[in-house]
Amino acid sequence: MNSTVLSQFPVARPRRLRQSPALRRLVAETRLAAGQLVLPLFVRAGRKLRQPIAAMPGVCQLSPDELLREASAAHAAGVPAVLLFGIPERKDEKASGAFARNGIVQQALRLLKKELPSLLVITDVCLCEYMSHGHCGVVQTGPRGARVLNDPTLKILAQSAVSHAEAGADIVAPSDMMDGRVAAIRAALDAAGLAETPIMSYAAKFASAFYGPFREAAESTPKFGDRRSYQMDAANAAEALREVALDIREGADIVMVKPALAYLDVLYRVKAEFGLPTAAYAVSGEYSMIKAAAANGWIDEKAVTLEGLLALRRAGADILITYSAVDAANWLRDG
Ligand code: PBG
């Protein structure tokens, strides 16, 4: 709004509209609803297994039976979607577990789609959990050290995405940050007769220290080096817009900004510039910070969590990916 508009319509008493909860609700510009939430879940082989993640209180690696329980609870709370990550029994240098017909994510998909057909299941498409070295792509070691190869990685990513969609994934979500992966995945899905499967691309994914606790959860810490040669530099917002533009041109249906709270400017610009359905991922470190401060009695977990999610909505996010999805859905319902 420019100053001319302001001078034409002076509001001398903005407090007039803040007098009661009902009035404040009536004029709220932004709303949070359970239908916007996505709950990330970690699945690994086993039975009756709930392996807690130390740095993420309340989050566990789950065996498929427990995953079903957790997903049912989320569904019952009004959360429309889960985002699946798999921890395979064996890792290798080809990420075989990522596209195995009977891989852990593929098994979990069949179970969830059979038992909870109306729950949306989104799958993270990446290789880091399946690679013995923990990188998101194929690694080549040479005289100048190890490099993550772009194009050989695309084939494996595309194969993984197709195997997820064949096992029932409602949306596939590539998080690897290789160049050209959305196009490669779109082409492979289309060729496999899966033209209706949408792609939610982690379009602006930054190399972030906020992923620390996740790497314990997904057992995906790189054995050497870091992810800075493929994930984005935290200094760059204009580049993030170019990354998003590329993914849209390649066929992304939904674009994501990740992490969330430290990148609100990027989120705002992505939504304003492209207007596509836009997701924000409140990552593991964001969750852990709130949990730790709340456990110390330093902040109010519910109020801080909801305020953070509302900020994502205000900045332009349509879809909120958060480990607090079930709590948030319950808080929103109970008021
Ligand atoms: C896989 C992936 C990561 C996250 C989501 N997908 C980790 C990483 O890139 O190292 C992070 C999620 C979180 O921190 O909650 N590439």
Nearest-atom number in ligand 1 for the CA of 221 is: 10
- Is the pLDDT assigned to residue 89 strictly greater than 80? yes
Nearest-atom number in ligand 1 for the CA of 205 is: 9
Q: Which of 135, 115, 35 is nearest to 71 (CA)?
A: 115
Q: How far is CA 123 from CA 85, 142, 168, 186, 240, in A?
A: 7, 33, 10, 15, 23
User: Does residue 175 have its Cβ closer than 6 Å to ligand 1?
Assistant: yes
- Topology annotation, domain 31-334: TIM Barrel (3.20.20)
pLDDT at residue 3, rounded to an integer: 61
The dihedral over CA atoms of 21, 302, 61, 173, expressed in degrees to the nearest 10, equals 50
Q: E strands of the chain, at which residues?
A: 37-44, 50-52, 60-62, 81-87, 120-125, 138-142, 145-149, 171-174, 200-205, 254-258, 278-282, 319-322
User: Does residue 130 have its Cβ closer than 6 Å to ligand 1?
Assistant: no
Cis peptide before 259 (omega within 30 of 0): yes
**Residue 50's beta-bridge partner residues?**
62
Q: E strands of 88-199, at which residues?
A: 120-125, 138-142, 145-149, 171-174
d(CA 22, CA 28): 10
- Counting ligand 1 atoms within 8 A of each CB, the residue from 105, 129, 214 with the most, and so the one to mutate, is 214
By annotation, the residues acting in catalysis are 205, 258
SS3 288: helix
- Tens of pLDDT, residue by residue over 32-58, are 999 999 999 999 999 999 999 999 999
- Counting ligand 1 atoms within 8 A of each CB, the residue from 105, 175, 176, 210 with the most, and so the one to mutate, is 175
SS3 14: helix
Confidence category of residue 6, pLDDT binned at 50, 70, 90: low
- Tens of pLDDT, residue by residue over 9-32, are 767 899 999 999 999 999 999 999
**Residue 148's beta-bridge partner residues?**
139
What percent of the chain is predicted at pLDDT more than 70?
97
Mean pLDDT of the chain: 95
Say how many Å lie between the CA of residue 292 and the centre of ligand 1. Answer: 20
Closest residue by Cα to atom 10, ligand 1, is 211
pLDDT at residue 143, rounded to an integer: 84
**Residue 172's beta-bridge partner residues?**
123, 199
- Tens of pLDDT, residue by residue over 255-297, are 999 999 999 999 999 999 999 999 999 999 999 999 999 999 9
Q: Where are the domains of the chain?
A: 31-334
Q: How far is CA 215 from CA 48, 146, 300, in A?
A: 23, 20, 26
